[in-house]
Amino acid sequence: MVSPSATCNATRWLSIVGIGEDGIDGLTAHARRLIAQAALVVGGARHLDLAAPLVSGQRLAWPSPLQLAFEQIAARSGEPVVVLASGDPFNYGVGKQLMQRFDVGEMLCVPQPSAFSLAAARLGWSLQDVAQVTLHGRALEGIIRHLSPGARILALAWDGSTAAKLAALLTSRRMGRSRLTVLEAMGGPQERVRSALAEAFDLTDIHPLTTIALDVEADVAAPLIPLSSGLADDLFEHDGQLTKRDVRAVTLAALAPRPGELLWDVGLGSGSVAIEWLLRHGSLRAIGIEARQERADRALRNALALGTPDLKLVLGRAPAVLADLESPDAAFIGGGISEPAVFDAVWSKLKPGGRLVANVISLEGEARLIDLFGKHGGELVRIAVSRIEPVGRMHGWRSAMPVTQWRVTKS
């Protein structure tokens, strides 16, 4: 962040000014000068109205999508331009999108407190102990991964209906005693703070500009998403096409997810491997490739139920549908490894240093992995799992079909 004494000049011609619900009254003298001197002021209609007493240059309301305005901003390069944003522009704000088009050396950012900071201040919560998520423009189910007993969550609402929908979701997942606090239009004359239990949520007339604070309380039988790999098999809807829990945990360890990486799950099936990949870190991405519509639909239902609505799906048969996809950092082949063209297509697109993991149970599939191991190296591992099952009035071990796993890193 540039110091408050910095000024807009030909180098730093693009200023991003955070503005709150208190309008120009909450701005520093420096932020006011930037707006008053701007040849172009860009922002949402609400922000432009809040700053109107200071604006003397051209006004530009964000189009949809907002990137359509970027070329108009770029055309003013070297002139003073101000982009108005909510609170902290680099906390779920427009700053990220602007950075994809403009260089940081061209920018001067003057932030205000974010909605998360304001909510924490109202409630006396320490931000470092709170999960911070946005539900604005995103699936409500994205919050599921954060739901655990005792958790505190701050969520940016999409609109005035978000809180009631979240209360219904919590109640359906046996978390009805959780408390939702609705913080509306913080910092402005319409600010209001109200709360209710999820199972008895009755708040109405909620302002669209809302942050929701959530204190989670869960019943013993509530379906929780643990931090470990190897979710229980019965958490997934499936038709038998499921990488079982113990093998899945080993598979995730072999895939070794790292922040920001992209996984291809070729032969998605129920989606269990891709879903668990996404659960490891919020920055991870996954594309599932599945030829059968009913399995693809099932995988997407699992993704919603387990809090990973950002799973991307490509419907079609590999390798034909792989050519135009973004190159992955890791790939899992759960089906189709016996077809040479599938492996060749995946291997050619896998980034250098990327990891590939393939699982098979048939002798023919194992022969294929042995052949690939001979050509590309890596590791071959046989995973054999036995479970206790009743034998009459006693118990004995029943062995599942062993899985042969090939792991390799592309040099």
Closest CA to 286 of 304, 269, 309, 270: 309
Q: Are residues 209 and 275 in the same domain?
A: no
Q: Residue 400 and residue 244: Cα distance in Å, rounded?
A: 10
Q: Among 9-23, 34-48, 104-118, where is mean pLDDT lowest? A: 9-23
HSE, CB side, 13 Å, CA atoms: give it for residue 49: 4
CATH number at residue 30: 3.40.1010.10
Asked if 209 and 246 count as a contact pair (C-beta separation under 8 A), the reply is no
146 in any annotated domain? yes
**Stated pTM of the model:** 0.90
Give the CATH number, domain containing residue 121.
3.30.950.10
In a domain, 5, yes or no: no
- Residue 353 confidence class, pLDDT cut points 50, 70, 90: very high
Pair (24, 95) in one structural domain: yes
Same domain membership, residue 81 and residue 21: yes
pLDDT in tens, 164-197: 999 999 999 999 999 999 999 999 999 999 999 9
Residue 262 lies in a domain: yes
Structural domain includes residue 196: yes
Q: What is the mean pLDDT of the segment spanning 261-284?
A: 97
409 sits in which H/E element: strand 403-409
Per-residue pLDDT at 334: 87
Q: Are 328 and 264 in contact (CB under 8 A)?
A: yes
Q: Measured between alpha carbons, how far is 393 from 47 in angstroms, rounded to an integer?
A: 73
Residue 323: inside a domain, yes or no?
yes
Q: Compute φ and ψ for 152, nearest 5 degrees.
A: -115, 130
| pLDDT surpasses 60 at 257 | yes
Q: What type of residue sits at position 192?
A: R
Residue-wise pLDDT tens digits, 245-255: 999 999 999 99
Residue 228, in any domain of the structure: no
Last residue of a domain, one of 215, 250, 281: 215
Q: Report the sign of the C-alpha dihedral through residues 53, 54, 58, 64, in that order.
A: negative
Do 127 and 88 share a structural domain?
A: no
What pLDDT digit, counting tens, does each position of 195-239 carry?
A: 999 999 999 999 999 999 999 999 999 999 999 999 999 999 998
Please give the average per-residue pLDDT across 251-278, as a whole number: 97
More confident residue, 114 or 1: 114
Average pLDDT over residues 38-50: 96
Q: Are residues 163 and 256 in the same domain?
A: no
Q: Return d(Cα 92, Cα 134) in angstroms, integer.
A: 7
Please identify, among 112, 134, 150, the residue that sits at the C-terminal boundary of a domain. 112
Residue 103, in any domain of the structure: yes
Percent of the chain with pLDDT over 70: 98
Per-residue pLDDT band at 240 (split at 50, 70, 90) = confident
Whether 108 and 126 share a structural domain: no
Distance of alpha carbon 6 from its chain centroid, rounded? 34
Q: Residue 3: which pLDDT band, with cuts at 50, 70 and 90? A: very low
Does residue 349 sit within a domain?
A: yes
* Cα dihedral 179, 189, 59, 11 sign: negative
For position 391, what pLDDT does the model report?
93
Domain boundary among 112, 129, 145: 112
Q: In terms of domains, do 241 and 171 share one? A: no
Q: CA–CA separation, 115 vs 137, rounded Å? A: 16
Do 78 and 128 belong together in one domain? no
Single-letter residue type at 9: N
Expressed as residue numbers, the domain containing 176 is 116-215
Same domain, 123 and 44: no
Based on the fold, state whether residues 262 and 387 are members of the same structural domain.
Answer: yes
Rounded to the nearest 5 percent, the helix, strand and coil shares of the chain are 30, 25, 45
Binned at pLDDT 50, 70 and 90, residue 4 comes out as very low
Q: pLDDT value at position 7?
A: 52
Q: Structural domain tally of the chain?
A: 3
Whether residue 399 sits in one domain with residue 251: yes
